[in-house]
Amino acid sequence: MASLYRSWPDSNNPAPLLFSWQNLRLTHTLLRDFEPTLAQQLGRLLQRFNQPLQTGTSAERRYIGFYPLLEELGADAIVRIIACLTTVVEQSIKQPTSQPNSARSFKQLLYEWIDLGEWLVRAASVH
């Protein structure tokens, strides 16, 4: 399981306040069977923030800020997403047919959500 403290604040390496659009879509897809309510919430978020891409910008390079994610989803949903993704990633890694690249992608997805959760904890402790 990923360490919750993997990206704890470091003045030399501040965590970005952006979340990958591509990982948001992947999360939506992965949660459909496990947590349909969360998947629907993510689907609404994707629709709400779906804006035309600027010329020369690919969908893979799109990001959404942590603040809009928090406002749209709420802290409880973020915690539930992290918990569900942890289970999904653990199951996928245990599969004998699991490819190393997909395991890395799933771990990176989980780490991005954990970064958001850690940012949330840090932001709450400042206020």
pLDDT tens, position by position, 59-91: 556 788 888 888 889 999 999 999 999 998 888
- Range 19-24 average pLDDT: 88
What percentage of the chain reaches a pLDDT higher than 90?
Answer: 30
Q: How confident is the model at residue 126 (pLDDT cuts 50, 70, 90)?
A: low
Check pLDDT > 90 for residue 107: no
Contacts of 42 (CB under 8 A, 6+ apart): 24, 27, 28, 31, 73, 81
What's the pTM? 0.75
Domain ranges across the chain: 18-49+62-126
